[in-house]
Amino acid sequence: MPAHVRTARLVAVTVARRGGWPESLLESVRQGVGEACTLALRAAGPDGTLTVELDDRGPGLVSRVWPAPSSAGSAGEDLPWAVLAGLTDEVAIEDHDGVSVLRLSWLP
């Protein structure tokens, strides 16, 4: 549901902030998670469910959002992928138990 994208962004920033991340990186986390959620909502369709998972156990922060598009960008969809690449240290589509997951990574 689009109304919950704001909540996902706020939670991601809170996780990064509590992890001691510099304020200069928090806006990239907020924007990246928001863009990933937008892509996932498109993939899920009007009745789909969106899942966001945050992992801060490593040296950085990883956000996984699904369902995700099965391929990175196509004609007319290059801009969202360019935005994600510019906001993150790594962006990739992964398979997780047969489900396409959009993985975003940031290093502090």
Q: Could you tell me how far CA 22 lies from the centroid of its own chain?
A: 19
Q: What residue ranges do the domains of the chain occupy?
A: 2-106
Q: Which residues are CB-contacts of 52 (< 8 A; sequence separation ≥ 6)?
A: 8, 11, 12, 33, 37, 63, 64, 65
Q: How do residues 5-57 score in pLDDT, each as one tens digit? A: 889 999 999 999 988 888 888 999 999 999 998 888 888 887 888 889 998 88
pLDDT band at 72 (very low <50, low <70, confident <90, very high): low
- Confidence (pTM): 0.84
* Domain 2-106 CATH assignment equals 3.30.565.10: yes
Residue 74 has pLDDT above 50, yes or no: no
pLDDT of residue 48: 80
The answer to whether the CB of 29 falls within 8 A of the CB of 54 is: no
